[in-house]
Structure 1
Amino acid sequence: MSEALQILKKYWNHDSFRTPQEEIITSVLEGRDTFALMPTGGGKSICFQIPTLMQKGICLVISPLVALMKDQVANLQKRNIKAIALTGGINSDEIIDLLDNCQYGNYKFLYLSPERLQSEWILERIKNLPINLIAIDEAHCVSQWGHDFRPAYLKISQLKSFFPKTPFLALTATATARVKKDIISELGLENPQCFEKSFERKNIAYMVFEIEDKLFRIQQILKKNPQPSIIYVRNRKSCSDTAAQLNSLGFKATFYHGGLPTKEKNKNMELWMNEEVQVMVATNAFGMGIDKANVKTVIHIQLPENLENYYQEAGRAGRNNEKAFAVLLTSPSDIAQSENQFLHVLPDKSFLKEVFIKLCNYFQIAYGEGINEKFSFNLNQFCVRYKFPVLKTYNAIQFLDRQGIISLSQEFSEKVSLQFIISSKEVIRYISLNPNDEEIVLAILRAYPGIYEVQTNLNLPFIAQKSKHSETEVQTVLEKLREKGIVEYHSKNNDTTLLFNEIREDERTINRIAKYLDNQNQLKKEQFDSVLHYIKKDDTCKSQLILAYFGENNTKNCGICSFCISKKEKKESKTSLSQKIVTLLQTTDLSSREIQIQLNNPSDDVIFAIQDLLENEIILIQANNKYSLKK
């Protein structure tokens, strides 16, 4: 493996491989189909990049993630390695030029999505390329029981007939035993060599705390651990709100979500990567391809959708192998909120059919027609027209996209962003002088209370509906406010492009894909139940719970998670601290924060003592999140 090590040193400046990178590279070089399960941060891309650089020809990399493809291509190009990606938005002429470059320009890596393989002419061109390896990233997408199933992955196996002597390398960071079996079967891997790195991260302390004052706990964590941190939230508004709260408390924080302009994303990322700010508050749009070794703490302040995503996001901590913390903060109301967010917005067959028929009607597509027709599409306008709930509709349309019925050119995004740049008093004065604009301005202020602090994406159809005006009238007022220096206003022409891939057949179309919808809905429910099991089961090591979910049993307690710490001997005996809490509650009901302040004990000790008193039914928690003695 001396040549492989030389390449590793030359391009990546590493002196040795991580387990099991070397074994995977050897398997691929021997021409064997290979399955590799390597948790996040394990260095999966090295496993196909190095063997490709050691051989003549090009590696075909199939990935569903445009952001990751772009990131990997950019990183290879920085190292003077020739790589390209066939991402969305590239016209046919450009694709032809890029494929010519692959054939005659000594390129080493061609990245594309599985959907690209469904174009016959692209497939014909790929057949003629000198492909030495086919790498399938995010291979769990081929399984109906994978957390991100994409039917287009089912057609990857057809490449076997065109490249019978070319090895397949299937890579995934998260796969249960059932998903692994599907990957090997559906991709047609022949007697594959299988490498599975343990999901155990011995240096990460998994912590779960049920508390009512999350911000106070975040303050304590960040003060105790002033190194780089990530706080994951569920939506864009929480990003800017949480970052603003932390900045007001004296922490340096920035935020990141999919709706930010590219320039602002890059600026905020740079601030955090260069450690000019301690905290990155982000949605799950943040993290793809991020490799910052010294992240000390990853905090989730809302429940994750599934343990696969949680494990990947938590795993961005401690990649330098020093002790790190993955903290999940929950409150009694989180479960109901998360059920609304994850489960109640799942479309059933009836709703999916209604959305599809209305889409066809919206674009005046007759039965038996529509194939290859392309339209500009605005999700919010569509939902207002048919009185559909936005998130449930988005999930339905996204499902149609995954099934290949339609194709969306990009993620949905708002057309308009706005920020008030004068004080609220001056805005009120403007309203009093311009009563005709009052309904529109007030509708904006009520819908977006943070619009004074940060540039905010507006939902124009929603504002028009709330103010009882047309969208044109709303835009006219916004232009007027910009001219008077009251707002900073940006109008973007970035509606989604929607392409119909099949003729309209209504019932027939939906019946064909309904079984996948049922399976996916059932999977999402099971996954969410696993999250609840993880947070509620308080008699088992948290690391063990995660490992068991991924099929690793017979493991020892980690010794550093919230459960293991609770069982360790405390400086002050649990009985003594519990008695002090009981004494305090004899006088008045108190929150956990109030108890901690009065006792001046470490917060973890107080929380564990409270949990013990709750379990033994000595105290109970009231509706106002205060604790009282049980009568």
Structure 2
Amino acid sequence: MTTEALQHLLREVWGYPDFRPGQAEIVLHCAQGKDGIALLPTGGGKSLCYQVPGLAREACTLVISPLISLMEDQVADLQARGIPALSLAGDIDAKAWDQVMDRAIGGAYSFLYLSPERALSARFMARIAYLPLGLLAIDEAHCISQWGHDFRPSYTSLGRLREQLRDIPCLAVTASATPEVLADIQSLLLLDDARVFRQSFARPNVQIRIHPTSQREHTLLQLLRPKDGKQIIYTRSRSQTVHWAKRLQEQGILAGAYHAGMTAEDRSAQQSAWMGDGLTTMVATNAFGMGIDQAHVRQVFHLDIPDSPESYYQEIGRAGRDGEMAEAHFLLDSRVQSTFEKRLKEESVSWEDLSWVYNQLGSLGQIAVGDGFQVRQSIDMDGLALRWNKPRRWIALALQSLEREGIFRLNEGWKDQARIQLLLHGEALVRAAESLPGHGHVAYALARMEPGARSEFTAFSPKALAHRVDMPIPALYASLNALTHAGILHWEHQESNTQITWLMARAAEGYLPISRKKIQDLRTSKGHRANAMLRLLHGPGCRMRHILDYFGEKDYPECGCCDRCTQSQSRGRMALLAHILTLLQEKSSSARELKFALPDAPQDIDTALREGIQRHLWERSTHGIYQIV
């Protein structure tokens, strides 16, 4: 396999004239059947690095990704190019699974996309030896490291998959890996001998600007340019996405909100509108952006401080993917920083905290010491927050930490389980609903959403209903109770936020089978990431160099376009103008004489001389002599 043959494939199938810098070397390496690790900047074209060699090897490429939206988008793109590809990300029954696997074993697919959980399932592992695989690609490989910003426990078990596929070349790709994370990728994915392809994470076309301000809305409206490409505005709060989207809409801006609490249908509709002409500006939590291929994002705004430089880098990396100049603005006020510091304190989980949560859950589940192996226990997260007087987020972090250490397995499909039956219909429903101002519209919405509820109990999602009628969950529950008391409907609600499966028998109180040092090291690592984020915001020097230094790039020059660099350039230019002015006050001189007098001038003398004329500091005679005005 030659580079020329791969370039021909790229042109014929994808329509690109040539590879981006660094891609060709990775593609050729994988096409020749060798293991690799690719560290590429955001927008660096990671997917082509495994798609092109995967197609060239004329076998099935197995792609592991944690992002359902990314898998679905890539499969749709491949299918549109005439390449047989399939995502096994959604629900699929046993019969359909067997049919898909039979076709895959028969060579029906060039690309098969799976989540790590599904790839490690017993029924997939039982048939993997029969798949005609030519390449294993592990996307978002940084998720394997507990030292990273986006650790996912399921990734740590992918070594078992690699063990089964040692004869198949593997490419691990990521756009955010510190040296510690890279070491974990090499070790846990059995890629110690793999070649590491490392491109600079620098984004020279993204101008980072930090704006200290007490009037964020005013500053945002001044900076926002909705007629110039697309914009993303990031905030941590779901309610704030809705608030800011409405404020922008009031200014005539085509803005939408996006967060994980929305239904999948609503998220998809918002994303499609933003990808097309329906929306120019998306106000979103960090749930938005992963795997989205939008080349014309001109501005990214942050209204809150991300937890780490990795998160910040990934989010600003969605700007300027077409190579044109783009802007990353940070609107920073004192409240934002105090909230960030408070959140860090609240979300810090110690070994003692984990031991306490572990024993509390054991007591709640009535699990005796020595018992509990493979026991499933349902948990009401909001109920625990009230019972323990702890933030819900703190409890979630504790559970995730216990899962990471192999104590529990979490079922991440947190759902509200509710059933409803409408007792009145037609005109009777209308009359009864009108007698309850403020509640009737809920009954109407239910009748439209769940027509089956007119004859029998029907399951429904309280979250979806709350979003449709634009009510907070507590207010919705109050309305449903009022409608029940009025005899209009009957509803039952059982919230099961999550479920844990105990993976080992319960230990005695005071003993937790987790290393104290490891938990302390993880807390220290989290604090390191937070401090690095604050240094980026407040430290001296080039903003991009702060990011690159964090990722282990120590010798990268200043970017020349962030607010710190342009301020430095401005100061240097003004100093040069002042120096020239002093020399001309002593003696009128030619440009050549001034250059001789200023051999170490930091900027071009000719440019400074033209600027001085524009500022009316001096003038130039017909003989080329500069003199004070």
Q: After TM superposition, list the pairs within 5 Å mapping 1:54-133 onto structure 2.
A: 54-87=56-89, 89-90=91-92, 94-116=96-118, 118-133=120-135
1:454-485 Cα shifts (integer Å, max 9, x gaps): 8557455xx79xxxxxx7x764126679969x
Equivalent residue number for residue 358 of structure 2: 356
Query: CA–CA distance in 2 between the matches of 1:167 and 1:400?
Result: 33
User: Kindly tell me: are residues 38 and 370 of structure 1, through their superposed partners in 2, closer, same or farther at Cα, counting changes over 3 Å?
Assistant: same
User: Kindly tell me: are residues 452 and 80 of structure 1, through their superposed partners in 2, closer, same or farther at Cα, counting changes over 3 Å?
Assistant: closer
Please, which moves more after superposition, 175-184 or 72-81?
72-81
Please, which moves more after superposition, 48-57 or 73-82?
73-82
- After superposition, the CA RMSD in angstroms is 3.6
Query: CA–CA distance in 2 between the matches of 1:287 and 1:255?
Result: 13
Correspondence for 1:174 among 169, 176, 181: 176
Equivalent residue number for residue 482 of structure 2: 477
Q: After TM superposition, list the pairs within 5 Å mapping 1:417-566 onto structure 2.
A: 455-456=469-470, 458-460=472-474, 475-477=480-482, 495-496=496-497, 498-500=499-501, 502-506=503-507, 510-512=512-514, 516-537=518-539, 539-566=540-567
Equivalent residue number for residue 204 of structure 1: 206
User: Kindly tell me: are residues 206 and 88 of structure 1, through their superposed partners in 2, closer, same or farther at Cα, counting changes over 3 Å?
Assistant: same
Query: CA–CA distance in 1 between the matches of 2:257 and 2:100?
Result: 35
| One-letter amino acid of the counterpart of residue 499, structure 2 | L
| One-letter amino acid of the counterpart of residue 481, structure 2 | T
User: Kindly tell me: are residues 399 and 108 of structure 1, through their superposed partners in 2, closer, same or farther at Cα, counting changes over 3 Å?
Assistant: farther
1:199-237 Cα shifts (integer Å, max 9, x gaps): 111111011111111111111111486431110001101
User: Kindly tell me: are residues 42 and 457 of structure 1, through their superposed partners in 2, closer, same or farther at Cα, counting changes over 3 Å?
Assistant: farther
The answer (yes or no) to whether the contact 2:300–2:327 under 8 Å persists in 1 is yes
1:590-623 Cα shifts (integer Å, max 9, x gaps): xxxxxxxxxxxxxxxxxxxxxxxxxxxxxxxxxx
Equivalent residue number for residue 444 of structure 1: none
Following TM superposition, by how much is the alpha carbon of 1:315 offset from its aligned partner in structure 2, in angstroms?
Answer: 0.8
User: Kindly tell me: are residues 571 and 61 of structure 1, through their superposed partners in 2, closer, same or farther at Cα, counting changes over 3 Å?
Assistant: closer
User: Kindly tell me: are residues 517 and 233 of structure 1, through their superposed partners in 2, closer, same or farther at Cα, counting changes over 3 Å?
Assistant: same
The answer (yes or no) to whether the contact 1:61–1:135 under 8 Å persists in 2 is yes
Query: CA–CA distance in 2 between the matches of 1:329 and 1:475?
Result: 40
Query: CA–CA distance in 1 between the matches of 2:76 and 2:502?
Result: 31
| One-letter amino acid of the counterpart of residue 330, structure 1 | L
Please, which moves more after superposition, 280-289 or 49-58?
49-58
Question: Tell me, what secondary structure is at the counterpart of 1:276?
Answer: coil
Question: Tell me, what secondary structure is at the counterpart of 1:250?
Answer: coil
Equivalent residue number for residue 21 of structure 1: 23
1:303-332 Cα shifts (integer Å, max 9, x gaps): 111110101100111111111101111112
Following TM superposition, by how much is the alpha carbon of 1:262 offset from its aligned partner in structure 2, in angstroms?
Answer: 2.0
Following TM superposition, by how much is the alpha carbon of 1:32 offset from its aligned partner in structure 2, in angstroms?
Answer: 1.4
Query: CA–CA distance in 2 between the matches of 1:310 and 1:261?
Result: 26
Question: Tell me, what secondary structure is at the counterpart of 1:234?
Answer: coil
Structure 1's unaligned 5+ residue stretches are: 417-426, 433-450, 465-470, 575-631
Query: CA–CA distance in 1 between the matches of 2:36 and 2:204?
Result: 27
User: Kindly tell me: are residues 452 and 184 of structure 1, through their superposed partners in 2, closer, same or farther at Cα, counting changes over 3 Å?
Assistant: closer
Correspondence for 2:10 among 5, 8, 26: 8
Following TM superposition, by how much is the alpha carbon of 1:141 offset from its aligned partner in structure 2, in angstroms?
Answer: 2.5
The answer (yes or no) to whether the contact 2:299–2:328 under 8 Å persists in 1 is yes
The answer (yes or no) to whether the contact 1:84–1:98 under 8 Å persists in 2 is no
Following TM superposition, by how much is the alpha carbon of 1:131 offset from its aligned partner in structure 2, in angstroms?
Answer: 2.0
Query: CA–CA distance in 2 between the matches of 1:414 and 1:118?
Result: 28
Query: CA–CA distance in 2 between the matches of 1:237 and 1:330?
Result: 19
Please, which moves more after superposition, 286-295 or 135-144?
135-144
Query: CA–CA distance in 2 between the matches of 1:531 and 1:482?
Result: 55
Question: Tell me, what secondary structure is at the counterpart of 2:311?
Answer: helix
Following TM superposition, by how much is the alpha carbon of 1:72 offset from its aligned partner in structure 2, in angstroms?
Answer: 2.9
Question: Tell me, what secondary structure is at the counterpart of 2:340?
Answer: helix
Please, which moves more after superposition, 398-407 or 517-526?
398-407
The answer (yes or no) to whether the contact 1:152–1:404 under 8 Å persists in 2 is no
The answer (yes or no) to whether the contact 1:353–1:506 under 8 Å persists in 2 is no
The answer (yes or no) to whether the contact 1:200–1:547 under 8 Å persists in 2 is yes
Query: CA–CA distance in 2 between the matches of 1:32 and 1:331?
Result: 50
| One-letter amino acid of the counterpart of residue 523, structure 1 | S
Equivalent residue number for residue 322 of structure 1: 324
User: Kindly tell me: are residues 164 and 87 of structure 1, through their superposed partners in 2, closer, same or farther at Cα, counting changes over 3 Å?
Assistant: same
Following TM superposition, by how much is the alpha carbon of 1:259 offset from its aligned partner in structure 2, in angstroms?
Answer: 0.9
Equivalent residue number for residue 580 of structure 1: none
1:557-605 Cα shifts (integer Å, max 9, x gaps): 222211122234489989xxxxxxxxxxxxxxxxxxxxxxxxxxxxxxx
Equivalent residue number for residue 610 of structure 2: none
The answer (yes or no) to whether the contact 1:157–1:187 under 8 Å persists in 2 is yes
Equivalent residue number for residue 266 of structure 2: 264
Question: Tell me, what secondary structure is at the counterpart of 2:224?
Answer: helix
**How many percent of aligned residue pairs carry the same amino acid?**
33
Query: CA–CA distance in 1 between the matches of 2:239 and 2:370?
Result: 42
Equivalent residue number for residue 139 of structure 1: 141
Query: CA–CA distance in 2 between the matches of 1:491 and 1:203?
Result: 55
Following TM superposition, by how much is the alpha carbon of 1:113 offset from its aligned partner in structure 2, in angstroms?
Answer: 3.3
Following TM superposition, by how much is the alpha carbon of 1:535 offset from its aligned partner in structure 2, in angstroms?
Answer: 0.6
Q: After TM superposition, list the pairs within 5 Å mapping 1:30-49 onto structure 2.
A: 30-49=32-51
| One-letter amino acid of the counterpart of residue 397, structure 1 | L
Query: CA–CA distance in 1 between the matches of 2:495 and 2:96?
Result: 21
Correspondence for 1:153 among 152, 155, 158: 155
Aligned residues: 533
1:514-564 Cα shifts (integer Å, max 9, x gaps): 555433322211100001101111x30112222222122333322221112
Query: CA–CA distance in 1 between the matches of 2:365 and 2:10?
Result: 53
